[in-house]
Amino acid sequence: METGTLFLCPTPLGNLEDITLRVLRILGCVQVIAAEDTRHTRKLLTHFNINTRMTSYHEHNKIKKAPFLLDILLKGGDVALVSDAGMPGISDPGEELVKQVISHGLAVVPLPGPNAAITALVASGLPVAPFTFFGFLSSRGAGRKKELAEIMCVQSTAIFYEAPHRLVKALSQLAAISADRQVVVARELTKIHEEFVRGTLEQVLAHFQSVQPRGECTVLIGPPPEKESQAQGSPEQLVAQLLAQGMDKKEAVRQAASQLGISRREVYQKVCVKE
């Protein structure tokens, strides 16, 4: 029996004109649309007069819903996966569904379209290649401190998504590591109030301390300047930087070794000699 196809259908970040003709065609002819938020997606479908059946697929029901979607595909039905905005499978549970569909030998077809990280990157003025994408950061705790420290260690442009109510805290923590590092905050992408705020971490932090951020934010951190990069090239300096961010010594050594491409033993030896 012929099996179905999972179509990854990107949806507009905010401007409905950004949806493609191909995405509209697929959404109109599949057996079911798996949506992160059916209420949100219903507005999109209504705008384009699409009446395809929908089902929810999100972080809280992905384990229960995956077998249902796989059954449709195995019986020959096509499924379209959408997120609330942008490309499904990036910073949402769609990634796990794709893996399961592939593991069953079924077809996955990605359709090109909007993506906040790439949209922000090409207009940022920061180096576009290479770049490192971190998605959404942990909301609190040691995991968040670890992620912020990792962001400042990468030698390329780093990109992450942040909620507006956590933006100032994130910029403050990053500025504590390197206040002069270049940063771009892109918010409300493709919408009426789209804005790019560019400058050093210190400057951009000051801006958002006086102007309350609104809307989802894409944050881009430029690569370290040569002088800072050389300092990070020292295991002692890098470990000290990570420890200052609240990371325990064992994890700091592991991160330093990974960033510098050397063994943990080498890092331990240099740090112990320094101490």
CA 130 – CA 139 distance, rounded (Å): 26
Q: Is the pLDDT of residue 193 over 70?
A: yes
List, edge to edge, every strand of the sheet that includes 107-110.
54-56, 32-35, 79-82, 5-8, 107-110
Neighbours of 212 (CB within 10 A): 10
Assess whether 86 and 139 both reside in one domain: no
CA 38 – CA 35 distance, rounded (Å): 5
- Provide the CATH number for the domain around residue 108: 3.40.1010.10
Range of the domain at 167: 117-228
Residue 150: pLDDT band (50, 70, 90) is confident
Assess whether 142 and 104 both reside in one domain: no
Least confident of 98-102, 154-158, 269-273: 269-273
DSSP state of 31: S
Residue 263: C-alpha distances to residues 145, 147, 230, 242, 252 (Å): 23, 21, 19, 17, 13
Assess whether 242 and 217 both reside in one domain: no
Span 226-242, average pLDDT: 65
CA 108 – CA 70 distance, rounded (Å): 12
pTM: 0.81
Assess whether 110 and 126 both reside in one domain: no
Of 114, 145, 174, the last residue of a domain is: 114
Of 114, 140, 165, the last residue of a domain is: 114
Of 69, 94, 114, the last residue of a domain is: 114
What token pair was written down for 163? 């909620």
Assess whether 146 and 191 both reside in one domain: yes
Assess whether 172 and 268 both reside in one domain: no
Are 180 and 4 spatial neighbours (Cβ–Cβ below 8 Å)?
A: no
Q: Is the pLDDT of residue 129 over 70?
A: yes
Assess whether 206 and 160 both reside in one domain: yes
Left (φ > 0), alpha (ψ -120 to 50) or beta: where does 256 sit? alpha
CA 22 – CA 260 distance, rounded (Å): 44
Total of domains in the chain: 3
pLDDT of 111 reads: 98
Assess whether 89 and 77 both reside in one domain: yes
Of 244, 238, 247, 245, give the one whose Cα is nearest residue 274: 238
CA 171 – CA 204 distance, rounded (Å): 8
Q: Is the pLDDT of residue 231 over 80?
A: no
Assess whether 201 and 223 both reside in one domain: yes
Q: Is the pLDDT of residue 70 over 80?
A: yes
Assess whether 55 and 131 both reside in one domain: no
- Provide the CATH number for the domain around residue 204: 3.30.950.10
Span 102-113, average pLDDT: 97
Assess whether 224 and 206 both reside in one domain: yes
Are 220 and 121 spatial neighbours (Cβ–Cβ below 8 Å)?
A: yes
Assess whether 268 and 197 both reside in one domain: no
SS3 readout for 198-234: EEEHHHHHHHHHHCCCCCCEEEEECCCCHHHHHHHCC
pLDDT of 250 reads: 80
